[in-house]
Amino acid sequence: MARDSLLNTITVALVLCIVCSVMVSSAAVLLRPLQEANKKFDQQRNVLSAAGLDVAAMTATDIEALFHDESQIRRVLIDLDTGQPVDLKATEIDPASYDAKQAAKSPELSQPVQAAGGPTLGTPRREKYAFVYEMLTDGQIDLYVLPIYGKGLWSTLYGFLALDGDTRTVRGITFYEHRETPGLGGEVDNPAWKATWIGKQVSDQDGQVDFSIIKGRVDPQSQQAAHQVDGLSGATITSRGVSDAVQYWLGADGFGKYLQQQQSP
């Protein structure tokens, strides 16, 4: 058979396709554990970053050790309906692999977002159970780090909100995933803007959620100033999405019941 016959060309192309697809799928399978480990590490860095720790100065080993030390950080699965910790032995949930994003898509592990008149998430369903991080000093909870998400202009923004042990005062905010426009909605990652959140109050004296990102600048003389953050200029839609997300996740349909129980355990 001639080397440049049609059959030869097709055979070589087919063999090449099969070899390449085997290589690509093997790489995907082999690298999956590494990808999962990197994802977990990135989440841990973001939890610590929201909590105000200087993660750039920490090694991977430091971070790993911190998350393994229950006297410093507790990762607790909360039933959002009751605000109570979930007994993991009584569920099928594997804490190592639980993915809230996937859970929000599963009919068994999610429920419709109740948004009648209240803040919206931009998604029809949300997970029933969510992991929170309780950071301890001398056996007392000093800080709560809560996972939050909400819809911006182009994407859903995923992040962590850190609250002081009083459950009202913001200690930090961070976003680890979004596709908002750099320079506009992407300014949610701007350290200067995130710094303006620190010390803000997310609820009033009665424990009702009282927090918003306003359009423009916060008037320091306003009585509401402690409960407001400046909007991102040219990114009102992203700002509103983040504001709604914070209100939702701190409210009764989010972590509201859990936070209330923390005040009067």
Contacts of 29 (CB under 8 A, 6+ apart): none
Nearer to ligand FMN, 139 or 182 (CB): 182
**Candidate ranges 67-75, 124-132, 165-173, 228-236; the one touching ligand FMN (CB under 6 A):** 228-236
Distance of alpha carbon 116 from alpha carbon 122, whole angstroms:
13
> Tokens in use for 128?
């029933």
Which of 50, 153, 162, 173 touches ligand FMN (CB under 6 A)?
153
Which of 72, 91, 120, 181 touches ligand FMN (CB under 6 A)?
181
Which of 48, 109, 162, 184 touches ligand FMN (CB under 6 A)?
184
Binding to ligand FMN by residue 237, rule CB under 6 A?
Answer: yes
Binding to ligand FMN by residue 177, rule CB under 6 A?
Answer: no
C-alpha separations of 189 from 53, 180, 182 in Å: 16, 10, 9
Distance of alpha carbon 41 from alpha carbon 18, whole angstroms:
34
- Strand 125-127 and strand 84-85: pairing? unpaired
Binding to ligand FMN by residue 233, rule CB under 6 A?
Answer: yes
**Candidate ranges 9-17, 76-84, 112-120, 236-244; the one touching ligand FMN (CB under 6 A):** 236-244
Best CA proximity match to 217, nearest among 227, 207, 228? 228
Smallest distance from the beta carbon of 249 to ligand FMN, in angstroms? 20
Distance of alpha carbon 23 from alpha carbon 21, whole angstroms:
5
Binding to ligand FMN by residue 234, rule CB under 6 A?
Answer: yes
Binding to ligand FMN by residue 188, rule CB under 6 A?
Answer: no
Per DSSP, what are the bridge partners of residue 148? Answer: 159
Binding to ligand FMN by residue 190, rule CB under 6 A?
Answer: no
C-alpha separations of 265 from 68, 135, 138, 205 in Å: 25, 16, 18, 18
Smallest distance from the beta carbon of 157 to ligand FMN, in angstroms? 10
Binding to ligand FMN by residue 236, rule CB under 6 A?
Answer: yes
**Candidate ranges 15-23, 26-34, 95-103, 229-237; the one touching ligand FMN (CB under 6 A):** 229-237
On whether the CB atoms of residues 75 and 133 are closer than 8 A, the answer is: yes
Smallest distance from the beta carbon of 148 to ligand FMN, in angstroms? 18
Best CA proximity match to 202, nearest among 157, 141, 263, 158? 263
Nearer to ligand FMN, 180 or 253 (CB): 180
Provide the binding-site residues for ligand FMN, judged by CB under 6 A.
153-154, 180-181, 184-185, 233-238
